[in-house]
Amino acid sequence: MTAATPAPLGTPIVRPIHHSAAYAFETLADAREVFAQRASGFTYARTGNPNVAALEAEVARLEGGECAVATSSGQAAVSLALLTLTGPAKDAHVVVSSRIYGGTVDLLTDTLADTGLEVTFADPREPQQWEDALRPGTRVFFLESVANPLTELPELEAIAEIAHRNGVVVIVDNTVATPHLYTPGRHGADLVVHSATKYLSGHGGPLGGVLVDTGSFDPTEDPERWPWLTRKHHRWGDRSPVEVFGARRALLGVARCKYLNDLGPCMGATTAHEILQGITTLGVRVERQSATAERLALTLAEHPAVERVHHPRFGDPRQQQLRETGSYRGVGGVFSIDLKGTPEQVEHAVNSLRLIKLAANIGDVRTLVAHPASMTHCRLTPEQFRVSGITERTLRVSVGLEDEADLTADLFQALSVIAPAHAPQPRSASTTAAH
Ligand SMILES: *Cc1c(COP(=O)(O)O)cnc(C)c1O
């Protein structure tokens, strides 16, 4: 377009994708200020990009947080959070929920354990276990707001109170609940992590992660405990991260400018764009998925092939109470069932599903089942397996947006290999789209 051509009226509704690795400066003086972190700006897309920044701002807003860093996957978000809080400490110890995503168990007990990090597991329904696990070096409590795959709800407020009394930072993985159903920052979480691959994206496409700082952690309240955030260092131009980024942004400043920059698990512009598009429908998706999951859980509880349904609807009175009064707008689209029958029959039932796919993912608009013992949690030790509550007969269901009657019919025809039962009659015509 030449200078003489008038600019067309109208601006795009959807933000354009900024596919640029590097960002140009007018002057060397401008570049020098941004590179030295004395002025804000994009330099190179490993540490920031306009689409990624828009996603970070949106997830921070949804979580009621101070700021956020997006990453290449949920694993990267969890890794960055743990490295920033424990990496430089010689005596680092974390207490972790025993009901947790298998990838997080691998990260903590294998990869980060190799670096000297020590881990104790505790039941998220038993705050006393968290208190008992404390050591002088404990820096982090890590738990999930709705546990994957058994859908248990944690005693977050009581656990966070123990943490904050002892100078410990609380990280909550809010992947299953999503900020639409639950905001951990209002109940004591200092950091919130997401696998954006799941409900935030919602359509089973890109991998992504987000790490949100809720703004409650201030390392200057106990500077000796967090010297890598509060002391001057040549990395930060002989200033401290607190001086460079501010007390409440020092943690994510270091996560981005040190760990994301040095290790490189950054999110791409197209991925950020797709996840932001997904977030525009987050509320309607998770409300429907949560409601369908609860009704399917109720229907399956009556099925003769089902031994047990894992959903807070069927939990003990305290789980019911947390679900009703714990500020959850729903518990999400994931639940699990323990089947009756032999392992061969369970396998046959899984292989008999037609509409529902066998895949290790959750949060997709398509309903997926997984067999955690063979898939997501296959590397757990026998002891970890025992405390996880998962068995060889546990199936996880992640409910999509198909018609409930079609899902019921598919589950019933598959479960008939264990024990036949009649599917309830559909209430209305199917609206399930062909895949
Ligand atoms: C999938 C998942 C992760 C890991 O996220 P990726 O995007 O697969 O790396 C972490 N936590 C929970 C609860 C998850 O479901």
Quick: pLDDT tens for 232-287: 999 999 999 999 999 999 999 999 999 999 999 999 999 999 999 999 999 999 99
For 43-66, write each residue's pLDDT tens digit: 999 999 999 999 999 999 999 999
Q: How far is CA 195 from the centre of its chain?
A: 4
Of the ranges 134-148, 182-196, 247-261, 306-320, which one carries the lowest mean pLDDT score?
306-320
Coil, helix or strand for 186? helix
Q: Do domains 28-276 and 282-433 have the same CATH topology?
A: no
CB 366 within 8 A of CB 319: no
Whether 175 is in the pocket of ligand 1, judged by its Cβ within 6 Å, is: yes
Q: What is the pTM of this model?
A: 0.94
* Atom of ligand 1 lying closest to residue 197 CA: 7
424 pLDDT tier (thresholds 50, 70, 90): confident
Amino acid found at 46? R
290 pLDDT tier (thresholds 50, 70, 90): very high
What does the pLDDT average to over 135-151? 94
Q: In what order do the strands lie in the sheet with 368-370?
A: 306-310, 334-339, 394-398, 368-370, 357-358
Average pLDDT, the chain: 93
434 pLDDT tier (thresholds 50, 70, 90): very low
Whether 103 is in the pocket of ligand 1, judged by its Cβ within 6 Å, is: yes
Which of these, 262, 259, 334, lies nearest to 78 by C-alpha position?
259
- Phi-psi domain of 151 (left: phi exceeds 0; alpha: psi -120 through 50; beta: other): left
428 pLDDT tier (thresholds 50, 70, 90): low
Whether 195 is in the pocket of ligand 1, judged by its Cβ within 6 Å, is: yes
Whether 75 is in the pocket of ligand 1, judged by its Cβ within 6 Å, is: yes
| pLDDT greater than 90 at residue 197 | yes
| Cα of 97 from ligand 1 centre, angstroms | 15
Greater confidence (40 vs 380) lies with 40
| Cα of 271 from ligand 1 centre, angstroms | 16
Long-range contacts of 294-298 (CB under 8 A, 24+ apart): 294/330, 294/331, 295/404, 296/335, 296/397, 296/399, 296/404, 296/407, 296/408, 296/411, 297/335, 297/337
Which architecture characterizes domain 28-276 according to CATH? 3-Layer(aba) Sandwich (3.40)
Give percent of the chain above pLDDT 90.
83
Whether 353 is in the pocket of ligand 1, judged by its Cβ within 6 Å, is: no
Q: According to the model, what pLDDT value does residue 326 have? A: 72
Task: Give alpha helix (H) positions in 248-314.
Answer: 250-254, 261-263, 269-279, 282-301
Domain ranges of the chain: 28-276, 282-433
Whether 144 is in the pocket of ligand 1, judged by its Cβ within 6 Å, is: yes
| Cα of 52 from ligand 1 centre, angstroms | 19
Quote the CA–CA distance of 18 and 194 in Å, as a whole number: 23
Fold for domain 282-433?
Answer: Aspartate Aminotransferase, domain 1 (3.90.1150)
What does the pLDDT average to over 105-112? 94
Quote the CA–CA distance of 348 and 49 in Å, as a whole number: 47
Of 105, 198, 335, the residue with max ligand 1 atoms within 8 A of its CB, to mutate for a pocket test, comes to 198
Task: Give alpha helix (H) positions in 1-111.
Answer: 28-35, 50-62, 74-86, 102-106
| Cα of 232 from ligand 1 centre, angstroms | 35
Whether 142 is in the pocket of ligand 1, judged by its Cβ within 6 Å, is: no
Whether 149 is in the pocket of ligand 1, judged by its Cβ within 6 Å, is: no
From atom 7 of ligand 1, which residue's Cα is the shortest distance away? 74
For 354-413, write each residue's pLDDT tens digit: 999 999 999 999 999 999 999 988 877 888 778 778 899 999 999 999 999 999 999 999
Quote the CA–CA distance of 190 and 156 in Å, as a whole number: 12
